[in-house]
Amino acid sequence: MGVPDPSPALRLPVGLKVSIDVRRDQQPHHDARIDAHLRVKAVGVGPSDEVPAPELAVVLALDVAAERREAAAAALAAALRALPDGLSFTVLGGADASGAPTGCYPLRGRWALAGTAEKRRAAFSAGRIAPAAAGRPPTGYPVWLAAARDLFAERPLPVRHLLLITDGSSHDEADDPELPDSALQHELARCAGRFTADVLAVGSHWDPAPLLAVVERLHGSPVDVPDRFGPAVTEAVQRLRRVRSPELPVSVTVRPAVREVTLTETAPRRQTLEAVHRPDEPRRFDFPTHQWEPGTRDYLLTLHADASTDPLGVLLQLATVSIGDATAPLLVRWLPPGVAVGAGATGGGGDTLQAMNVATQMRTALDRGYLALDPLTRGEAEQQFGLAVRLANEIGAAWVLDKVREVAEILDGSRGLVRVGPTVDRGTVRRGRLHIASGHLLDLPEHATGKPVRCPDCRHLAGPRAQYCIACGRRL
């Protein structure tokens, strides 16, 4: 993956705080795996709580079948009237004979600027929306994404966002999102870093897989909405105005002994981030993240390190994690031979890792259970739901129990025994998959924190308990 196009800076900065929770004492190995819980807190800085509307560009793409055209046009008109003044917008709807999305508004040019008169004309023009034509091959989501990418190239504003409103009419079943060389994956790779996207799913006949692929790669949210989706569009735009920074990389700089680095966001959304490497800094891994607003994000940071030449029994800084101006060190201590992990350890850390791992297993089992119901595979679904319920009881995740009860009966929560009913509504199953992907914050304890220090000689950053600088060897 190449370096994405840089987004212009917003005028509303965020204050960031980074903390790392890791089990301090580790067993040395030539390929030791280190898991750490990374938490980033963002706080709005400045007098304003909203991004000025002129900083936003939004493409509304409406992809519905003929039977939904009337309701969709009314909902779109209501959404257009509610746009904030000054926002740049364009509306796509339907496709021409070649399959390319057609422009609904503006009537001339490619972009409109929201204002009283402009919004009134746009709402009136919503009736021009053309539904997906019956009997014609489906347009395909990659075509909608390509059209948005082409439009955003002309509008280099800080926040560029696609709202794809679809009932699944344009989905080409031959385009499997799981295949790395599919047209959808290829187009997502071209769009990544250039704009973000939400999917508003209307009805229940859409396939969740490609929609989830879109929002995961383009850092958005999946939402199931009624035919009258106007309020959902307004809510999405309001959320965009809370974005204080459109993109911030999480930078991980590692010791030479570290061979592999992965970063997975666990809350508020589940997604594996892709690293961007700089040729001049081979030990630095930059993971682009998007749409930063005040709040908390949790990540699982995994390193693979060769401990064969490292000293034993002393704190070592394996990595430094930075985001914006905030920095935190990742410190471990390789245990001498014969010393078990946890034996006599002090300040061991890792207090939240077990809760995070359990929550990850729970959400994975819940997702697999819903996946097994579409199409119906009752035995696999009951097994996965049972695991999710048992883990949810361990950590007190009541929302998981509620999601399971939508499609199954919980017979014994502590033992993980559930029974899927004789009839399962496919629409409920598909909406459930979107809800699970939307994410739920974990109630994890705060990390034990301390103030990092810098070496007085070489200025290398070290953890609060470090005794020696790993860069120059000076005693701290």
Q: Mean pLDDT across the stretch 298-307?
A: 94
User: DSSP characters for 183-195?
Assistant: HHHHHHHHHTTT-
Residue pair 222/268 in contact (Cβ under 8 Å)? The answer is: no
33 DSSP β-pair partners = 304
Distance CA 315, CA 458 (A): 18
Which pLDDT score is estimated for 316? 93
3-class DSSP state of 322 = strand
Which pLDDT score is estimated for 317? 94
Mean pLDDT: which of 14-18, 112-116, 191-195, 369-373 is highest?
112-116
Distance CA 24, CA 44 (A): 32
Distance CA 425, CA 437 (A): 19
For the cut 80, the answer to whether the pLDDT of residue 353 exceeds it is no
pTM reported for the whole predicted model: 0.80
Sheet containing 32-44: order of strands: 14-22, 32-44, 295-305, 258-267, 271-273
The 10s digit of each residue's pLDDT in 163-179 is: 999 998 877 766 667 76
Which pLDDT score is estimated for 471? 59
Sheet containing 281-292: order of strands: 25-26, 326-334, 315-323, 245-254, 281-292, 276-278
Q: How confident is the model at residue 271 (pLDDT cuts 50, 70, 90)?
A: confident
Mean pLDDT of the chain: 85
Distance CA 109, CA 462 (A): 55
Q: Mean pLDDT across the stretch 453-463?
A: 67
Which pLDDT score is estimated for 54? 94
Greater pLDDT, 441 or 275: 275
The 10s digit of each residue's pLDDT in 401-434 is: 999 999 999 999 989 999 998 778 888 888 888 8
For the cut 70, the answer to whether the pLDDT of residue 374 exceeds it is yes
Q: Mean pLDDT across the stretch 354-374?
A: 86
Which pLDDT score is estimated for 378? 87
Residue pair 384/420 in contact (Cβ under 8 Å)? The answer is: no
For the cut 90, the answer to whether the pLDDT of residue 9 exceeds it is no
Q: Mean pLDDT across the stretch 381-396?
A: 91
Distance CA 74, CA 70 (A): 6
For the cut 70, the answer to whether the pLDDT of residue 298 exceeds it is yes
Burial class (CB in 10 A: 0-12, 13-18, 19+), 35: middle
